[in-house]
Amino acid sequence: MTSITLPAELSMQGKRALVTGAASGIGRATAAVLAQLGADLVLADRDPMERTRDEVEAAGGTCQALRGDLTEDAFIALLFAADRVDAVAHCAAILDARPWTEDPDWQDRFHRVMDINVRVPLQLATAAVDHMAAHGGGHIALVGSVAGKTGGTSLTTPPDYAASKGALHTLVKWLSRNAVGRGVLVNAVAPGPVETPMTRGFNLGPTLPMGRIGRPEELAWPIAFLCTSAASYLSGAILDVNGGAFVGP
């Protein structure tokens, strides 16, 4: 295989990147791509990350895996307590696919979705901004959703999930306004449906312009780009990565 020398702007050599939700789906794919770009990785998830570690090492990278709950303040603090972190790819989120009108505990579920999909990225990003600003700057990439722009890709999209991703898109803009002057760039991607455990059971492919849902690596590359200096003049942006399922402001 012919080796390719990366442009300096895309290289993550000598950089340390934190990936949350790293055990599966978009998070695992993002970790593998960042490893290919040369990053030293910190992986965070509640679930075992052996498969991700194997993929990172197969890509020639190194990583440290930290298992914990991002809803706990102490775990977020731990992620920034040691070595410098240059980039954060926050991929952790939840979606409860049960029809919310039939869920007797829908209010508790609503608060849990908002906690994990809105409060956690706000708290994580705020900690990251403070850490990165003290070390000369950095990049933060969050994962929103086309549902946050359209209300959902189908009538089965839960309202709590759609609302949480719309809130996250607003947070990207707020975070950017407060971080860019400190040398930290904050952006996001807004995926359509992607082949992950979260979308298992949905049959949305035939309804989409490409006739299929996305693959995790098709989100991982744009997320990784947002973590590099190639995105050095990009902040407050939400990139639509959805195979043409949504075209609009």
Residue 77 has which token pair?
């603090």
Separation of alpha carbons 6 and 8, rounded Å: 6
- Cα-to-chain-centroid distance, residue 52: 15
135: number of Cβ within 10 Å: 15
Q: What amino acid positions are annotated as catalytic residues?
A: 161
In contact, 43 and 63? CB cutoff 8 Å: yes
Residue 247 has which token pair?
């075209």
Q: What sign for the dihedral angle of Cα 219, 225, 227, 233?
A: negative
* Closest residue by Cα to residue 224 from 36, 3, 67, 23: 36
